[in-house]
Amino acid sequence: MDQQHIRNFSIIAHIDHGKSTLADRIIELTGALSEREMAPQVLDSMDLERERGITIKAQAVQLFYRRDGETYELNLIDTPGHVDFTYEVSRALQACEGALLVVDAAQGVEAQTLANLYLALEHDLTVIPVINKIDLPSADPERVMEELIEIGLDGTDAVLVSAKQGIGIQAVLDRVVDLVPPPPGEGTAPLRALIFDSRFDSYKGVLVYVRVVDGQLKVGDRIRFMATGKEFEVTEIGVFRPHPTPVGALATGEVGFFAAQIKTVQDTRVGDTVTLAERPAPEALPGYRPAQPMVFSGLYPVDSADYVRLREALEKLQLNDAALTFEPETSAALGFGFRAGFLGLLHMEVIQERLEREYDLTLITTAPNVVYQVTLVNGTTLRVDNPALIPPAGDILRIEEPVVEAHIITPAGYIGAVMELAQERRGTYLDLTYLDSVRAMLSYRLPLGEIMFDFFDQLKSRTRGYASLDYQWAGMQEADLVRMDVMINGEVVDALSTVVHRDRAYHRGRALVEKLKDLIPRQLFEVPIQAAIGGRVIARETVKAMRKDVLAKCYGGDITRKRKLLEKQKEGKRRMKSVGSVEIPQEAFMAILRVD
Return binding residues. Answer: 16-21, 132-135
Residues 6+ apart with CB under 8 A from 534: 392, 393, 394, 482, 483
Is residue 95 within 8 Å of residue 124, measured between CB atoms? no
How many other C-beta atoms are found inside a 10 Å radius of the C-beta of residue 176? 25
Sketch the per residue contact string, 72 through 91, with ligand GTP: x for CB under 6 A, - otherwise.
---------x----------
Is residue 232 within 8 Å of residue 205, measured between CB atoms? no
Q: Is 53 in the site for ligand GTP (CB under 6 A)?
A: yes
Of 15 and 364, CB closest to ligand GTP: 15
DSSP state for residue 290 in the 8-state scheme: P
Q: Is 497 in the site for ligand GTP (CB under 6 A)?
A: no
Q: Is 163 in the site for ligand GTP (CB under 6 A)?
A: yes
Q: Is 113 in the site for ligand GTP (CB under 6 A)?
A: no
Question: How many residues would you count in the chain?
Answer: 596
The one segment of 160-168, 238-246, 471-479, 574-582 that binds ligand GTP by CB under 6 A: 160-168
Is residue 17 within 8 Å of residue 110, measured between CB atoms? yes
Q: How many residues bind ligand GTP (CB under 6 A)?
A: 19
Please choose, from the candidates 73, 72, 75, 71, the residue with its C-alpha nearest in 3D space to the C-alpha of residue 93.
Answer: 75
Of 20 and 366, CB closest to ligand GTP: 20
DSSP state for residue 135 in the 8-state scheme: T
Of 82 and 224, CB closest to ligand GTP: 82
Sketch the per residue contact string, 134 through 153, with ligand GTP: x for CB under 6 A, - otherwise.
-xx-----------------
The runs of H, that is alpha helices, within 382-437 are 415-424
Of 54 and 213, CB closest to ligand GTP: 54
Please choose, from the candidates 586, 86, 67, 66, the residue with its C-alpha nearest in 3D space to the C-alpha of residue 300.
Answer: 586
Phi, psi of 577 (to 5 degrees): -130, 135
Of 20 and 90, CB closest to ligand GTP: 20
Q: Is 15 in the site for ligand GTP (CB under 6 A)?
A: yes
176/5 Cα distance (integer angstroms)? 11
Minimum Å distance from CB 39 to ligand GTP? 13
Strand partners of residue 238: 246, 257
Is residue 311 within 8 Å of residue 317, measured between CB atoms? no
Q: Is 306 in the site for ligand GTP (CB under 6 A)?
A: no
588/169 Cα distance (integer angstroms)? 50
Of 12 and 505, CB closest to ligand GTP: 12
Residues 6+ apart with CB under 8 A from 124: none
Can you tell me which of 20, 386, 468, 498 binds ligand GTP, judged by CB under 6 A?
A: 20
Minimum Å distance from CB 133 to ligand GTP? 4
448/472 Cα distance (integer angstroms)? 10
Minimum Å distance from CB 130 to ligand GTP? 10
Beta sheet of 59-67, edge-to-edge order: 59-67, 70-78, 6-13, 98-104, 126-132, 159-160
Three-class SS state of 359: coil
Of 26 and 265, CB closest to ligand GTP: 26
Of 398 and 460, CB closest to ligand GTP: 460
Minimum Å distance from CB 75 to ligand GTP? 18
For 467, left (φ over 0), alpha (ψ -120 to 50), or beta?
A: beta
- Give, rounded to a whole angstrom, the gap between the first and last alpha carbons of the chain: 58
Q: Is 13 in the site for ligand GTP (CB under 6 A)?
A: yes
Q: 173-212: which residues touch ligand GTP (CB under 6 A)?
A: none
Sketch the per residue contact string, 114 through 133, with ligand GTP: x for CB under 6 A, - otherwise.
------------------xx
414/412 Cα distance (integer angstroms)? 5
In the annotated binding site for GTP, the residues are 16-21, 132-135
Q: How many angstroms separate the Cα of 354 from the Cα of each of 300, 318, 360?
A: 15, 12, 9
Minimum Å distance from CB 41 to ligand GTP? 6
The one segment of 157-165, 403-411, 527-535, 581-589 that binds ligand GTP by CB under 6 A: 157-165
The one segment of 16-24, 366-374, 434-442, 582-590 that binds ligand GTP by CB under 6 A: 16-24
The one segment of 47-55, 193-201, 506-514, 588-596 that binds ligand GTP by CB under 6 A: 47-55
Please choose, from the candidates 97, 53, 106, 91, the residue with its C-alpha nearest in 3D space to the C-alpha of residue 74.
Answer: 97
Q: 21-40: which residues touch ligand GTP (CB under 6 A)?
A: 21
Minimum Å distance from CB 342 to ligand GTP? 18
Can you tell me which of 55, 369, 468, 530 binds ligand GTP, judged by CB under 6 A?
A: 55
Of 163 and 484, CB closest to ligand GTP: 163
Return the CA Rg of the chain.
Answer: 27
Is residue 337 within 8 Å of residue 303, measured between CB atoms? no
Minimum Å distance from CB 81 to ligand GTP? 3
Minimum Å distance from CB 170 to ligand GTP? 15
Strand partners of residue 72: 65
Three-class SS state of 361: coil
Of 19 and 224, CB closest to ligand GTP: 19
Q: 236-265: which residues touch ligand GTP (CB under 6 A)?
A: none
365/412 Cα distance (integer angstroms)? 39
279/120 Cα distance (integer angstroms)? 33
Can you tell me which of 50, 67, 164, 311 binds ligand GTP, judged by CB under 6 A?
A: 164
Q: Is 47 in the site for ligand GTP (CB under 6 A)?
A: no
Minimum Å distance from CB 335 to ligand GTP? 37
Minimum Å distance from CB 469 to ligand GTP? 15
Minimum Å distance from CB 328 to ligand GTP? 34
Q: Is 162 in the site for ligand GTP (CB under 6 A)?
A: yes
Minimum Å distance from CB 162 to ligand GTP? 4
For 451, left (φ over 0), alpha (ψ -120 to 50), or beta?
A: alpha
Residues within the interface to ligand GTP (CB under 6 A): 13, 15-21, 53-55, 81, 132-133, 135-136, 162-164
